Chains A and B, each alone.
Chain A
Amino acid sequence: MSLAEKYPQEIEKILAKYPPEHKRSAVMALLYMAMREGGYISKADKADIASMLDMTTTEVSSIVGFYSLFHDEKAGQYRLQVCTDIGCALKGADQYLADLCEKLDVKPGETTEDGLITIEEVKCLAACDKAPMFQVQSPEGIKYHEKMTVDTTLALIEELRKDAQEAK
């Protein structure tokens, strides 16, 4: 089911915020909706949004491609995004990421076997003083986790797994 079919009222509300001749400005809001819905923006979503806003799918893809919080490939329900920029690296974030990956048996960019957690390496999240740190991007939103160790991270992952189990 396309976004337009599933959320006609919400979409109408979003479009009403913009003058009709500038309706393409609603693209960000509609992309958030697609992210919330599937955890990523599918090819069909892009085409759907493009036709709603009289844009080409290439223009929509270009916006998706620009923002690092928009994803166009399916991944785990939780995206664990670790900053390894220079500030964090000086506080051991790169080693932390390597150790964490080893424990979870994945490489950066990959998803755990249960399909729940995707580990991603990202640029500055503006929290160098509290490194190692990461943010968790999920349909519920974005949450920072600071001054982390591999152990506290694994404990958090256990919790996330439990939450997901319960939600089921």
Chain B
Amino acid sequence: MTKDITLTIDGKEVSVPAGTLIPDAAKKIGIDIPVFCYHPKMEPVGMCRQCLVEIGRPAFDRTTGEAVLEEDGSPKINWGWKLETSCTNPVSEGMVVNTKSEKAVKGQNEMLEFQLLSHPLDCPVCDKGGECLLQDLTLAHGGTESRFNFDEKRHAEKKVALSDLIWLDRERCIQCGRCVRFQSEIVGEAVLGFEARGSHTQIMTTSEPGFDSAFSGNTTDICPVGALTTAQFRFGARPWEMEATASVCTECPVGCNTVLNTRRDVKTGGKVVVKRVMPRQNESVNETWICDKGRFTDFSADSRLTAPSIGWTDAIASAAQNLSAADEPIFVVDGSLPNEDLFNIKSLADEVGAKAYCYSEVGGGELTTKSGTYGKSGAGDAILVIGSDLYVDAPIFWLRAKQAVDRGATLIVATEEETRLDNFASTVVRDFAQGLEAAKEAFSKAENTVILYKGDDALAQSCADLNPTSLVGVWNDANTQGAWEMGYEAISDLDVLKGKTVYVAGKSALVASALEVAKFVVAQTAEDVQIAVSITEASGSKCVTLPSRNISESLGTFTSAERRVQLFHPAVPAEGDTLPGFVITAQVAEKMGVTLDIEAEDIFANFFDLSYADLSKTNPEEKLLIGGNCYENTQGVGVQL
């Protein structure tokens, strides 16, 4: 434990761990020092000079080492004759900081005048307008007019495509370097840099391809101005027009906490749509970041079925009739379904004595349900990544592995192909057996041990044999872990469905595969079923489709690969006559004489010793680590099983 330091900021005493920087100490007692370049998750650089404050330090007698006292007995404080950047100053015992004195405020106001020297002030057409730090600080510190000559404003390129995803407006940039530092310090891919000097300084990339990073979207969140924006959200909406709903990313099993920003949109005929995906803080999962795969998830599904072609009553009846009539009906799901859907399907299967399978190419589900979390590894810990290119499969796991190495963890990478994690690993092998051997050696000296694997049952078993603290499967879907926790049996090919009557729920690809072999398919999916329909016509198998709601339309939970159960909320109204998956199952079950719950929260209470209220607890103090437009987590950080 580091020692606590007590200091006084604007007359208020605060105690913080040694090494804390002044802006963070101030934030803790509700004092906001204006900053641009400073970010709580990065090393300070003191580039923007905006955070100027008066700092006084207690005087000490050089000969005796004793504190010098004023006549009234209070400690004598030595004040620097210049203002200092608070972000580059760690706290020290007895320090006195004035952030709002006349001198400090004058300094801050003058710095802001400099920031605006060549800023175009094109807020009315800027994507950042409304959630822009420069706008906020201009309101707080800006004068009514500039003393600089408007005609001499520097002009620069306003449309620079750093990649297909990210746009740069060089005129808006205030050269704080947050984006450059994020890429080099946090991600370890220094593909953004500064060019030239003084007022000619600009952000550039000469890497090929340009801004090539799976985390590029985060730079648009931490950019304190509108210099970096995403191509996807360009001129998309004003921040204040959008609703913000807590969700969980569905792109991989990491379970990043997100916010879906929604708004009615003229392009879709006035329907409420997801305009963008933003990170929602969860320090145990994704901190304040999300990867580009999650950020640019496409929620539009034009060719989706919005009601059963034969109407709900007939469709449910047909489904129930066929399942009841079948000798051995089979239930198959994939990890794209929420826990609530999975539970009702499993319950129905159990009631009618049928098998319930979860389709997964990655094996070892039953092994991963016993171990704990990947956690925040560091010095003394060892991590084995085997069979998975985390950069592609689960980018935030990749980032966490990289950061664990930064903190001193030992990393072993065993993959068939080269991956971007190789650079950070202490051992890289292209062979699984060698990887396991190297891990065995490293684990014998390590405190906490983590294995992230992607492979078949045999590989999973070999990994489990190393007895790691945590065994994490890198599944293809967001909630595959949830299916294992619920007792689904793993299945990696669908031959068992041959000639059977099957209840299939999940992605359209799973439905399509089932249709190729099964006799009759009850298909519950939120995706496009055009492919499925054509296969039905070709193979002559019979199918009844029950269109369910997707994640952006539903309330439910996912269990991440590291066994964290997290809640998501409906962000947009359900499309057409689609129903929640668990309601569909309950209706089919009813016709088969089985009663199931139809409220998400009730279903959840059936299988976890938890409630939605438990999942909705937050860690308010974490918000001090947000620097940028990442949403504060007010809707719940979930529960680790």
B196 touches A57 (CB 8 A): no
**What secondary structure prevails in chain A residues at the interface with B?**
helix
B208 touches A57 (CB 8 A): yes
B299 adjacent to chain A (CB < 8 Å) = no
CB-defined contacts of B207 to chain A, threshold 8 Å: 56-58
Return B219 CB to nearest CB of chain A, in Å: 14
B592 adjacent to chain A (CB < 8 Å) = no
Q: Find A56's partner among B191, B195, B197 (CB 8 Å cutoff).
A: B191
B190 touches A59 (CB 8 A): yes
A58 touches B196 (CB 8 A): no
B192 touches A58 (CB 8 A): yes
Question: Considering the chains assembled together, what is the distance between the CA atoms of A43 and B206 in angstroms?
Answer: 9
CB-defined contacts of B195 to chain A, threshold 8 Å: 61-62, 65-66
Size of the A side of the interface (Cβ < 8 Å), in residues, is 13
A61 touches B191 (CB 8 A): no
CB-defined contacts of A61 to chain B, threshold 8 Å: 193, 195, 204, 206
A57 to chain B: closest residue by CB: B206
A58 touches B206 (CB 8 A): yes
What mask results when residues 176 to 200 of chain B are scored 1 for a CB within 8 Å of chain A, else 0?
A: 0000000010000111111111000
Question: Considering the chains assembled together, what is the distance between the CA atoms of A116 and B128 in angstroms?
Answer: 48
A3 adjacent to chain B (CB < 8 Å) = no
CB-defined contacts of B191 to chain A, threshold 8 Å: 56, 58
Q: Find A65's partner among B189, B190, B192, B204 (CB 8 Å cutoff).
A: B204
A65 touches B208 (CB 8 A): no
Interface positions of B from 295 to 354, Cβ below 8 Å from A: none
Q: Find B193's partner among A43, A62, A68 (CB 8 Å cutoff).
A: A62
A65 touches B205 (CB 8 A): no
A79 adjacent to chain B (CB < 8 Å) = no
Interface positions of B from 350 to 407, Cβ below 8 Å from A: none
B197 touches A46 (CB 8 A): no
A56 touches B194 (CB 8 A): no
Given A46-B206, A65-B204: A58 and B190 interface contact (C-beta under 8 Å): yes
CB-defined contacts of B208 to chain A, threshold 8 Å: 57
Question: Considering the chains assembled together, what is the distance between the CA atoms of A62 and B180 in angstroms?
Answer: 11
Question: Considering the chains assembled together, what is the distance between the CA atoms of A62 and B203 in angstroms?
Answer: 9
CB-defined contacts of A55 to chain B, threshold 8 Å: 190
CB-defined contacts of B194 to chain A, threshold 8 Å: 62, 65-66
B184 to chain A: closest residue by CB: A59
What mask results when residues 59 to 85 of chain A are scored 1 for a CB within 8 Å of chain B, else 0?
A: 111100110100000000000000000
In the complex, the 4 A-B pairs of residues with the closest C-beta atoms, listed nearest first? A62-B193, A65-B195, A61-B206, A58-B193
25 inter-chain pairs at a CB distance below 8 angstroms, sorted by A residue, are A43-B206, A55-B190, A56-B207, A57-B207, A58-B190, A58-B191, A58-B192, A58-B204, A58-B205, A58-B206, A58-B207, A59-B184, A59-B193, A60-B206, A61-B193, A61-B195, A61-B204, A62-B193, A62-B195, A62-B204, A65-B193, A65-B195, A65-B204, A66-B195, A66-B197
